[in-house]
Amino acid sequence: MLFKRILVTGGSGQVGTAIQALAPPAVSIHAPPSAQLDVRDGRSVAAAFADFRPDAVINAAAYTKVDQAEDEFEAAFAVNAEGARHVAKACAANGCPLLHLSTDYVFDGAKRGPYMESDPTAPINAYGRSKLAGEQAVAEVLDAHLVLRVAWVFSATGANFVKTMLNLAGRDELRVVNDQRGAPTAARSIAAALWRILEGLSSTPRFGLYHFASEPPTTWHDFAAVIFAGLAERKGEGALPKLVPISTADYPTRAARPQNSLLDGARLHRHYGIGPADWRGELRKVLAVLAA
């Protein structure tokens, strides 16, 4: 069947905003604010399903304050785990497939190469534990689910590394971690992948766990360098911060971060024909908005 009525949770977030922007014209999409659809409240979720009667659901609602989650684990768990369970239960009751977004932070980062779906999970922070619990809750409740893990998300909206760097562009010097590897992923690339997955599910359903990869691999320091190079192209040769590479040990944070956040997207490519996204082109589009 073709999915024509799509319910999106977390519609005001980075990915939720992009999902709405890229929605096909023939699709009716409903992405209510959290005041209307609070995934922490099972009754709120059930009411949204009853009102809209979706054919399929994308759960993009998430608590994403990684450091704060160390002190607010219950708050993170309420959204990322219990919220995911509520959405999955409603999908099961209404016969809807669910696309659920997750994260590279379910891994400890000790692997040298990109993580595959079959690799064991071992989150090293509270945020990662809450997201892993959400994955498990969805799998327990609903067979017709697809979990899509993504990493290092950026966009022109919300809080993310690109916007942080632009906000700090007036400084003389920035010390940026250079020993954590990953691949930045544009929210628009994720949204485009989700729409292609929904199209594929309508003809040949292949549920389960998938990784959405981006390329090329980089570090936070080198990502910052590309951001400022792009800013210089747009703004001219004005003063930009000197970037100083540092180790994770030199920049302690409340929550531990994986040293390796690379994801292997081969399974997604095999089943849905979706290859790695090149984050550099999407970064140029984001800078065109933010640095206009």
* Mean pLDDT value of segment 17-27: 96
β-strand partners of 182: 218
Q: Give the pLDDT band of residue 19 (cuts 50, 70, 90).
A: very high
127 is catalytic: yes
The pLDDT, as a whole number, for residue 239 is 73
Per DSSP, 286 falls in state H
Structure tokens at 23: 């929605």
* Mean pLDDT value of segment 9-22: 97
Cα distance between residue 261 and residue 213, in whole Å = 10
Q: Which of 63, 105, 127, 210 is catalytic?
A: 127
Condensed to tens digits (0 to 9), the pLDDT of residues 202-258 reads: 888 999 999 999 999 999 999 999 999 999 988 776 678 999 999 999 999 999 999
So where are the chain's domains? 5-159+183-217+257-278
Q: Could you tell me the pTM of the whole model?
A: 0.97
- Third-level CATH fold of 5-159+183-217+257-278: Rossmann fold (3.40.50)
Angle, CA of 212, 214 and 218, to the nearest 5° = 135
* Mean pLDDT value of segment 259-274: 98
Q: Where are the alpha helices (DSSP H) in the chain?
A: 14-21, 42-52, 73-77, 84-94, 126-141, 161-167, 187-203, 220-235, 266-272, 279-290
Q: What is the DSSP string of 31-93?
A: ---TTT--TT-HHHHHHHHHHH--SEEEE------TTGGGT-HHHHHIIIIIIHHHHHHHHHH
